[in-house]
Amino acid sequence: MAQTVAVSKSTLKALMNPGEISEFSTEEIYRELLRRIGEDPARDGLLATPKRVEKSMAFLTKGYKEDPNEILRGALFDVDYDEMVIVRDVEMFSLCEHHMLPFFGKVHVAYIPKGKVIGLSKIARLVEVFARRLQVQERLTRQIADAIQEAIEPQGVGVVIEARHLCMMMRGIEKQNSSTVTSAMVGCFRQKETRTEFLSLVRQTGTGAM
């Protein structure tokens, strides 16, 4: 026999409007998740888990509340320099949008200026903004390249990401040593000579799988 479950007006409103979910109701969602997987959220080890998960997810997805264009606009400098600028081995942690499991690795970013450069630390911040969202690696790679292209309109941008995905390592095919490499090449980086120079310099880090 079907069971009727009473739902309060405030809970129904929260479910229909996720942006209005209160801190308490978000905790309750994680508490219910523990019940659904067969755990007892009332036992000692799990009493504070819903609150911890809420805080953890807020941190891991904080990129939704940050504006990448605003970050870059705060650190643009006029220069008379037209050689390749490379920021290598930027550590990256993100969550895949398919299973909400982590993927992590390194990002290599390069561009050739055309009158403006970006403060070096802002490249790492840009990676962080896009990584702290539910992602797929291919889109993450393209978003970083497009944001730099839009901000300073350089001669070209190149981005390479090397990452390992726990959705492949912990579940599914369970291949612990597999890695994924993606690239996005814009402007002059589509030319063989420029792209080859960039990839050659990235390989010198000793981490490249290319």
Active centre residues (catalytic): 96-99, 137, 165, 167
Among the listed residues 124, 164, 162, 163, the one whose alpha carbon sits nearest the alpha carbon of residue 144: 124
Encoded tokens for 18: 């996720």
**Which amino acid belongs to residue 142?**
R
Distances (CA, A) of 166 to 107, 138, 179, 180: 18, 16, 10, 12
Burial string for 99-123 (b: 16+ CB within 10 Å, else e) reads eeebbebbbbbbbbbbeebbeeebb
